[in-house]
Structure 1
Amino acid sequence: MTPSDNIDDLIASHPDWRGQILKDARRMILNVDPDIVETWKYMGSPVWELDGILIVGNIFKSKVKLGFMHGASLEDPETLFNGELKGNQRRSYELSEGDVLNEPALKQLVREAIKHNRSK
C-alpha cells in the first residue's frame, strides 16, 4: 500500500466527524503546493512533507491533531495553534467535534512551514 492508500484507509475507518476533518485538512494541505508529499510514519500517522516534515496528523478519541513539526518558529496571526504551546519546537492545531477548520489560516500556516523548511 502507498502512504496515500494508508491515509485513505485511516479516513475511511473513522466515518464520523474525525475522518471528515482529516479528509478536509488533507485536501487543504495538499492544495497549498503541488510538491507536498504524503508519507506514513510514526507507527501509523499521515505525514505531509516538503523539504522536510511539515505536519503530522493524528486521530484521537475526542480530537484530530495536526502537529506542525516546527510550529514554534512559525507566525500564527490567526492563533490556530492550541496544543503543545509550551514546547520549544512543535505546535499543534487540534480540533474537536463541532469545530470548523479555518482554511485560509491553515493554508497560511502550511506556507509558513514550507518557508521555514526551505530556510534551513
Structure 2
Amino acid sequence: MITRDDAQLMDVLQGGCCFYCGEPAGAKATFDHVVPQAYGGVNEPGNVVLAHRRCNQLKGDRLPTPEEVERFLAQRRGSRLGVWPPVAALKGIGDEDEAWIAVARAIAGLPRG
C-alpha cells in the first residue's frame, strides 16, 4: 500500500516531475507500477513511480527500459521507499525476453506472504 507520505517522498525524489517525460507532474500525477501489475508487480512504494496519466498510459504493460531502471535505482538509493527486488533484477539487462525471465525468477524467489 502506498501512503500519502510515500507519495510526497516520491515527488521529492523525482524533483516534482513525471518519471517518464521529466516534465512537472503536478497534483494530478498518477502511480505507475515499474513492473506492471498484470505481470506480478506489487502495489508497494518500491515498485511505483509518479507519472502523468498520459505517460502512464503510453507505458502500458511494458517493463522499464535499462535507462529507466538505472534512474529508478539512483533515485531510490538510500531512500526509505526502497526498491522491490524484481525491479533490481532488471539492472544491466537490455534484452526484453531476458528481462521478463529475470523478473519472473525474482518474483518466484520472493517469500509468500
- What TM-score do you get using the length of structure 2 for normalisation? 0.35
In terms of fraction of residues, the more helix-rich structure is 2
TM-score (norm 1): 0.34
Structure with the largest fraction of strand: 1
